[in-house]
Chains A and B, each alone.
Chain A
Amino acid sequence: METEQLIRTLAADNPHRVRPVGFVLALALLAAAPVSLAMFLITLGVRPDVMTAMHNPFFDLKFLITLALAISAIAVGLHLSRPEASLRDRGWLLLIPIGIVAAGIAGEMMMPQRLPMMTRLIGHNSRVCTLAIPLLSLPLLAGTLIGLRHGAPARPALAGAMAGLISAGFAATLYASHCTDDSPLFVVTWYTIATAIVTAAGALIGAKVLRF
């Protein structure tokens, strides 16, 4: 086909409109979230003492951290779905959840503690945590990747890693309501390991499926 003919054809298709990437991503996440939520409620469920736990600022802090991760990763992931974008413009947003964790650790250090540091760090649920967060992320990761496929990322692996951070952030939000380890030291260790696993998976899959 001659290029002139192709151009004429593309112009004829101009009225066709595609929804913005953010809209499609939102739909995909809304479709995936109930699946992850159902998986969570069937297998783990919310911890029984949740009503008293809510008065503990370190329990609440976990949600602040995980949601900050998911939301900042959405902002960066959507930015990277534009071909001319780079991590330099928006990458700093990912420092927000890290800053919140750091502030949490510092805050906990300043309070009198019943338990030694290593005991708080190792906690009681490290194995469940590193297993549950990646498994709960799977539906969300699939949804996020489907949403980001509507974009045109110049670096598909990097965009895939953002999909991993988004889904791990939301999965960790669910898991945080089950876990009785509230110390920021536990969060920074085990949540981070779980998130790294999901992020690596996202980058590997993204490198294949997010090419345009």
Chain B
Amino acid sequence: MRESGDEWTGLMRLAISGDSAAYHRLLRAVTPVLRAGARRGLTRAGQPVDQSEDVVQDILLAVHLKRHTWDVNAPFAPWLFAIARNKLIDALRRRGRRVFVNIDDFAETIPDQPAAETASTNEVATLLKTLPPRQREVLQSIAVESASIRETATKFAMSEGAVRVALHRALAGLTAKLREG
């Protein structure tokens, strides 16, 4: 599966250089792999696999907020799987389980299962309610209503810069709350 790893590295380099479409493609490409790994890890720990989507979202948020720690000259997959393992361990710890994460839970294998149905009452959705109102509105506008930054700015009579700041703060805030949780 070396090829998909190289492809990820290329996409991440584009993303870092400002190509948001490449970033979108990359996140969509890694998600099924992360989901399969999260399921394997949860199963091994005797946890129901329906929590795998929470773990996947937790990993994606950490990938996003810590992407500056990726070295553009290094392959992307080892970095990604290190973040993924770390977040899976966190998730199991929060659920009070003895932590045993197999190093092979996350590997570049393409899962055979289709994407899981996501419950609307997942962890991120619950924490969303605890964000300051403006950040929550901006996040929902972009996430749920698929509005662009510009459309969101017009809707709330904000500058695009202010929308960007609110969006980033919302994502950082969600991650901090997940960590405390």
Contacts and interface: CB of A to CB of B under 8 A. Distances in A.
Consensus secondary structure, chain A interface? loop
Interface of B: 15, 18-21, 23-24, 27-28, 31, 53, 56-57, 60-62, 64-71, 74, 78-79, 81-83, 85-86, 90, 115, 118, 120, 122, 124-125, 128, 139, 142-144, 146, 148-149, 164, 167-168, 171, 179
Contact of A1 (B18, B20, B143): B143
Interface string A149-182: 0111010000000000000000000000000000
Contacts of A5: 143-144
A82 B70 CA distance: 7
Contacts of A12: 20, 142, 148-149, 167
Consensus secondary structure, chain B interface? helix
A5 B82 CA distance: 24
Contacts of A84: 74, 78-79, 81-82
A3 interface: yes
A88 B95 CA distance: 31
Q: Name, among A17, A152, A211, the residue most crowded by chain B CB atoms within 10 Å (CB to CB).
A: A152
A82 to B, nearest CB: 5
A49 interface: no
A196 B67 CA distance: 33
A94 to B, nearest CB: 21
Contacts of B115: 3
A1 B53 CA distance: 10
Nearest to A20: B68
Given A84-B78, A212-B86, A212-B179, A9 B68 contact: no
Nearest to A11: B24
Contacts of A18: 65, 67-68
The size class of the interface chain A forms with chain B is 20 to 34
A48 B32 CA distance: 67
A2 B66 contact: no
21 contacts: A1-B118, A1-B124, A2-B120, A3-B53, A3-B60, A3-B115, A5-B143, A10-B60, A11-B20, A11-B24, A13-B64, A13-B168, A16-B168, A18-B68, A81-B69, A82-B69, A82-B71, A83-B66, A84-B82, A154-B82, A212-B66
